[in-house]
Structures are given as structure tokens and as C-alpha cells.
Structure 1
Amino acid sequence: EACAGIDPALDAQAEASFKQMYDVLQQSIHYLKADNYAAYGNLDAQKAQDDMEQVYDQWLSQNAQLIKLASDQNQSSFTQMQWTLGIILLIVLIVLAFIWLGLHRVLLRARQRIMAHIQTIADGDLTHEIEAEGRSEMGQLAAGLKTMQQSLIRTVSAVRDNADSIYTGAGEISAGSSDLSSRTEQQASALEETAASMEQLTATVRQNTDNARPATGLAKTASETARKGGRVVDNVVNTMNDIAESSEKIVDITSVIDGIAFQTNILALNAAVEAARAGEQGRGFAVVAGEVRTLASRSAQAAKESKGLIENSESRIDTGSTQVREAGETMKEIVNAVTRVTDIMGEIASASDEQSKGIEQVAQAVSEMDSVTPHHASLGADSAAAPAALA
């Protein structure tokens, strides 16, 4: 059979020289068994042997070059695979670093500033100025918080003025109107605190919702990048598998060469036995048989060494394939982790929307209660006007 990668002409020439040598040996054995020494003497076995050795040496030289070329290609592929895996890992680390920095800058810092302003307002300090920077969601939220602070300042001022008026008028009202006015003031104060708390809670929920949306988008982008990295690693695994299959084919070819050398050695041994039986007349043929055995031993040794080199290279290829498969499994785990993060961010956004709806319903109920308060205040005013009219 023609070996893959070897010159077909040289392979055919080697096969023809081997067949010629084999035919000469068969004829020699036949003539010796038939005691036809004249015909045996006419056979040119030495020339057939020289031709076969010359062609076989060329065949071995070309086969050694092919084996060296395959080994160099395997080493180059392994080195390229190491660089590829290193670059992929570096890209993943850079992407994760940019994602972390972006989240920290866009979400965490702005969130901390806004939470500090909210805490200041909750502590009763309305003098701290709020700076609204940029047109992002956090900037818009800061602008809304600033507007809310200004409204609270006006509301608190108005409430303070009204409270002073009520306090002044309350001193002139009778015991019954004082009791009604006191209850009205308590209810108004409670509603005011409830409304402020609802506004603060609404702002917080909106902030959570706004934070969850861009984070979900970033998580989806990271998931897609990890999937691309997984596909690249799969391609590297397929390439390593193809190289391993080629190495196995070369091992099979070397095994065939070893088998041929073994069969040649057996034939030479049989020829030596026949020459020994022939005595003095078979001495020349015994020399030929010895040379054939030497050539067969050299062929078997060369095939054994080639097989050892190829098996060593195949072992390294298997190690590289195992490492690439492990890298592929790691990439799959990264993709699954990013996918889970994306799902969690989606659930957070959905929960924030549900909370926002619930808070709107509570705010509506507070608004209805607030609409009843003016009626109570009107009753208090009527009660306050009654003593003045009587006076």
C-alpha cells in the first residue's frame, strides 16, 4: 500500500524492488530444493539485494523526514493552542474588569451619593444642596430628588406657617374645638409623615428598577462574550482531535513496516536453514541470508524507534487535548454562571416593578385620606369661628 505523504513513485519503486528480491529468494529456494545449482548460480541475488537496499534507504529517509515534519507541526499546533488559551483568558479578565469598573462608576458611586442625600433629608436637614450631574438614569433621579427637596421645603414652610396660625387660633377656641383641632393636627402630621415616607420609598424602588435594567443588559453582553469564547475553545478541541487521529494513522503505518521486517527476518532465517542443509554449496546463499536478516533487523529497529517517537508525540497531543477539553468545560461553567446572573437581574427588575405598583396603590390610599383632612380642618375652622361670633 502507498503510505500517506510518501512519494508514490518512490513507494512503488520500493514495493517493486522488494517484490523482485522476494522472487529471487523464492527462485533460489526452489532451485536449491531441486538441486539445480546451475540455475541457482545464474540468479543475480546480490544485485536484487543492492537495488532493494538503495531504494529502501531512500524510502526510510523520506519517511523520517515526514515523521519529523509531523512532529514539528504537532509542536507548533500545541504552542499555538497555548497562546490562544492565554489570549482568551486575558480577554475574559479584561472584560470582567471593565464590567466591574463600569458598574462601580455608573451605579455604586451615584447610588451612594443619592442615598446620602436621602438620609440627610430623612434626618430633617433640607439645607443640603443636591447636585444633578449628567443625563443618565442616576442624574435624572438626582434631579427628581432635588425637585422633591424644594417641594418639601415649601411644604414644610407652609405647614409651619399654618401650624402657627392654628396654634394662635387654638388659644381662643373652647375646650370642645380644641379637642377637634388637636385631633386634626395629629392626623395632618401623620399624613404628612406618611406622604414623605411614601415619596422616599417610591424613589428608592425606582432607583432599584433603574439600576436593575442596565445591569441586566451588561449581564447579557457578558453572557454572549463567554459563549463566543466557548465556541473558540470547541474549535481548538476539534483541531487537537484531528491531529490525534493523524498520529494514530502514522502509528498503524509504522506497525505495517515492522510486520514486513519481521516477515523478511523469518524468510532470511528459513534461507539460512536451507543453506546450512546444502553444506558447502549453500555457503554463498547463507551469506546472502545473513545480509537479509541484518537488513530486516535494521528495518525493525528503525520502525520501532519511529513508533516510539510517534507514540511520545501522540501522548503529548492527548495531554493537550485533555487540557483544551478542561478549558472548554471551564468556559461552559462561566457561561452558565453569567446566565444565572442574568436571570437573577431579570427577577430583581420584575420584583422592583411589582413593588412600584404596590407603592402606587398605597400612595393613592394616602391621597384619599389626605382629601378627608381638609374637611376636618373646615370643621375646626367653623368651631373656631363660632366662639368669635359669640364674642
Structure 2
Amino acid sequence: MSEKPVKIRRSGKIRNKLLIYIVPIVVITIVTLVVIATTMSEKRMTELATSNLNSSISNQANNIESWLNENLEFFKTAKQGIEGLNPNDEELQKLLDSYYDYNSNSPEGLHIATADGKFIKPTESALEENDPTSSTWYKQGLTRANMQYGTAYKNAEGQNVVSAAAIITYGDDSIKVISADVTLEKISIIVNSGVKMDKASSFLVDTNDNTILAHRDTSLVSTTLGSDSSNKLMSGVAEAINNQNYATRKIDTYYVAFKEIKGTDWVLVSYIAQDVILASVQELGNYLIITGVVAVILIIVLILFVVNKVIAPLAGITKSIHAMSEGDFTIEVKQESDDEIGVMSGKIAEFVDSMRHMLSSISAESEKLKQESETSDSVSKDMFSASQSQAEAMQQLNETVDQLAIAVGDIAEHATTLATVVADTRDNSGKADEAMKETVKVSLKGRDDMEKLSHAMEGIQTANNNLVDAINEVGKASEEITNIVSMIAEIAEETNLLSLNASIEAARAGEAGKGFAVVATQIGKLAQTSSESATNISNLIADVHRLIDEAVGQANASAESIEKNSELIGVAVETFDQIYTNIQASNACIEEMIRDVQKVDDVATNVAAISEEQAASADEILATSQNMVEQAKNISRNSEDVANNSHELANTSDTLTSHVQQFKI
């Protein structure tokens, strides 16, 4: 039986495997948490920064609107005062002089231009207008009945101003426009210094022509925004203003908020760099990464500590299992704890103890099986010799029965001849005198034949008795064979049970018991074959018993018939003696002879019938003896098979013993 090749696996430590599996999971988890925390922080910081940016720009816009409205209210009050007084030119000049330098945001005060090109200003004002009707403020004022701010422009002195202008009515009905210039310096201060959010910046844009009214970079003030600018921030702002889309958004690397200034065409733009917003997020990410690395190191140290404490007993268990795999069951395994590993140690100790008992039992049973197989081998050899002797005896019985059949045939033939002679004697009784001498000869011959028949019947009776004795011997031998076969069946049954127990224990042994399981299976198959052979032999012996019983019955019947024939032949011999004695006086007793011949005729007829029946019985006995010869040959062959199986069982026992001896107990 070829053994399966054992696949050798590289051994590794559970600690290393745990580190290989757990550390990447921990690292991935921590990295995932860091990424999630950073992403959420970035999102939250962006939302917070956007909210602060909107809050800051709203506050700036409110300050600008408040400042503009405050100045506008002053201008409206002055306009209404002039219109209410309806002054003449002198009074108008005094009013304008009184408003000069009254509002610090409009140091040049109020000034008026008429449709005929007249320009009226405070006496101390330095403003000069050669053609006031073509000025920006005049044109803007013609379209308004109330004081409103217009677009920003540069006045004659080159200052960036915005004018609040409107049509004024006093005195005559001529068209006059009143205006007050507000410098953008104050607005620039509000725009540049009013940002609440740290590191954020703002600038103010006039949407009529995208002119920058206020900016921290003074070089950009009064310049025009364009979507084709190389500055991505400025081009993005210009595009948003052109599309009138003032939602807060990200432009390039900046977050930008927009706010329209009520009462003007201005838009306040506030922005902050993304790096500024995410600086704290980046710092938080660095802290999280450092924390994660420290956590990984601590977890690895903790895993090593826990593994060394918890899995340390596994080293001893592994060593014990390795020893068991090599067939060494002399090891001692101790349960040192109540946890799963301790329970495993206890179960291994129980398994080692169970294997010791099982191997000891298998060794003892194997030795017992070997002895029984040797006994079975010896018995099967004896049974084979007995079956051969039985076959020879049956062959002799067959020959004897054959001779018996021939003798019975001769008796039947002579009885028939006798019946014919008697019939002739009866028919020729009238000629008895003339045939007396012939009768004497015939009687002498008949007497001799009857004596021969008597001797033949005695030989048949003796052969029949010998046949009965031989059949009885065959019956006794078959009973011995039955006992032997029963013992073989019991041995096969015990072997089968032993094989089943060995298979169960081998299955419990797992990988280490696979080779033992193959041996146990072969033993089970051999035990099954032995049991089936024993059953076949038992069936054959039962048939032999039945045939023997039938043969004994036939032999007894034949014995009774032979005994009767012997008696009849004895009577016939006596009759022939009397005939021979009385033939001398046959002349006087011819009639008595005729009556006696009639009796002889009846007796001869009966003898002929009995002889025919005996011949038929002899033929049946011959057929039965031939069948018994075949059965004896079958028993001989089966006995030889039993002998071979016993020898194979002995070899299997040796193989089992050699396998068991591989284990150390």
C-alpha cells in the first residue's frame, strides 16, 4: 500500500501573523480616520470661513451704506434748506459758504451749475469747472429729483470722487443741478480696515464700468476689471460681476464673497486665500498623523504584550502536537488555565491518554488476532484435509453404490428369469415327468443362484451398512466444520468490530490517524470477506446435512428392503432345498409341486418387483452419492479458500502490528 506524500508547510509564529493582519488594519483605520477628520475639518473650516467672510463683508457693506447715507442725508437736508428759503444769488452764496467744510467727507461743500453754464461754489472752494454742463456730476444730477450717488470719477483736481447730485428748484424756473463731491479715501479706509476676518481683503467695484473704487493696493484703484486679466482672481470677479452672480464661491485659490451696496451700483468684494483657511486644518492633520503613528506603535507594543501573554501556552501545545504527529504519545500535556487554550491543552491530554489506551488495546487485539488467525489457519488446514478425506470417502461410497446398483440389476435379471422359468414350469406341469431331469438341473442351478443371491444380498447389506456409517462420519465431519466456521464467523465479527473501533479512533486522531484508518478499513474488508465465506460454508454444510439426512433415509430404506429380500431369498433357498429333496418323490407329489410352483411364481414375481425397486433406489443412491461427491469437492475448495483467508488475515495482523509499533506509548 503506497503512502500519500506529506506536504511540508513552512512554520510561522502566530504573533507575526497577528501583526501582519492587525497592523495593516490598524494603520488603514487610523489613516482613514485621519483623512475623514481632515476632510470634515476642512469642510467645516471652509464653511466657517465662508460664514465669517460673509459676515465680514456684510458688516463692511453696512458701514459703507451707513456712511454714504449719513452724507446723503446731509446733502438732502442742505438741498431742501436751499429750496425752502428760495434765496437770491447773494443769499445762495452765503448758504453755500456756510456748508463749506461743514462735512469732513465733502470738504469742498455743495456747488450748483445752471443750464446756461453758470457755476456757483463756496467762496473758499478750490473747485474749478470751465464747462460745468459737460461734467459727470451735472449729467448725473439731471436724471434725479432727489440726491443720489452716481458713478465714481476723477474731478478736475485728479481726485477719485463720487458725487451726490440732483435737480434743485429755487427762484426762477431755470434748470439747476446741485452736487456735492465725496472723496473715496474714507470709503477706502472702510474697505481696507473694516475687514473683521483675519487675513482677509476687500475691494470696491463700480459695476457700471467695473472700475475699482477702493483697494488695498492703491495702484489698482481706478483701474478696470476685465475677464481676460492674467490675475485669475480679478478675472473671476469680473466674470461674476458681468453675470451678476454674487453668490459666494471659490475662485482660483481664494474664497470670494460679494455684497451689493444699496443705493449705489457698487459691489463690495471680499476674499481670503484657501491656504489661510486650511492652515489650522493642516496643523490638525499633522497632529492627527503624529497621534496615529504613536497609536500604531502603542498598538503594536500592546499586541506583542498580549500575544506573548495569551498565546505563549500554544508553543507547548504545538510541540506536543508535533510529537504526536511523529507517533510519540509518551508526552505529558498539562492544563494550566481555564480559557480556550487551557481547554485545548486538557482535550489534547485526554486525546493522548485515549490514544495510549487505544494503541495498547489495538496492540493486544492485534496479537490476539494474530493468534486466532494462526489457529484459524491450522483449523482451516485440518478442515481442508478432512474435506479431502470426505471427498475420497464419498468417492468410495459412490463406487460402492455403483457396485450395489450392478448387483441389484443382476438380482432383478435373475428374478425375472426365475419368474419366467416358474411360468414355464406351470405351463408345462403336464409334462413334469418328462422334464423332471431338466427340472432337477434347473432346481440345482436355481439353488446355486439363490445362494449367490443370498451372498450378494449379504454383501449389499454390508455395503449399505458401510454407506450409512460413512454418511454418519460425513455428518460428524460436517458438524465439526460447522463449529469451525462458526468460530471463524465470530472471529470475523470481532475483527469487524475492532476495525470499526479503530476507524473511529483514527477519525478522532485526524491527520495523524489517516494511515491507521486505511489499515483498519482493510482489516474490516478482510473480516467482511471472512464472514461472507463462513456464511457460504455454513450454507453448503447445511445442504450437506440435508443431503446426508436424505441419504441416511434412503440407506435405511434400502437396508430394510435388503433385509426383506434376504428373508425372501432365504425362503427361496429353503424352498429350492425342499424342491431338490422332494424331486425324488415328484411323481407322487406332482400336484403338490404345481401348487408349490404357483407359490414360487408369486414369490419370484415379488422378488422381481422388489429387485426393480431396489435397482431404482440404487440409482437414486448413486445420484445422491455423486451429488455428495460434488459437495465434498466444494467443501474442499471452500476449505482451501478459508485457509488462504486465514493466511491473509495472519498477514494483515502482522501489518497492523507493525503499524501500531510505529507509535510510542
TM-score (norm 2): 0.29
Structure with greater proportional strand content: 2
Give the TM-score, by structure 1 length.
Answer: 0.45
Larger relative contact order (C-alpha < 8 A, sep ≥ 6)? 1
| Larger fraction in helix | 1
> Highest Rg: 1 or 2?
2
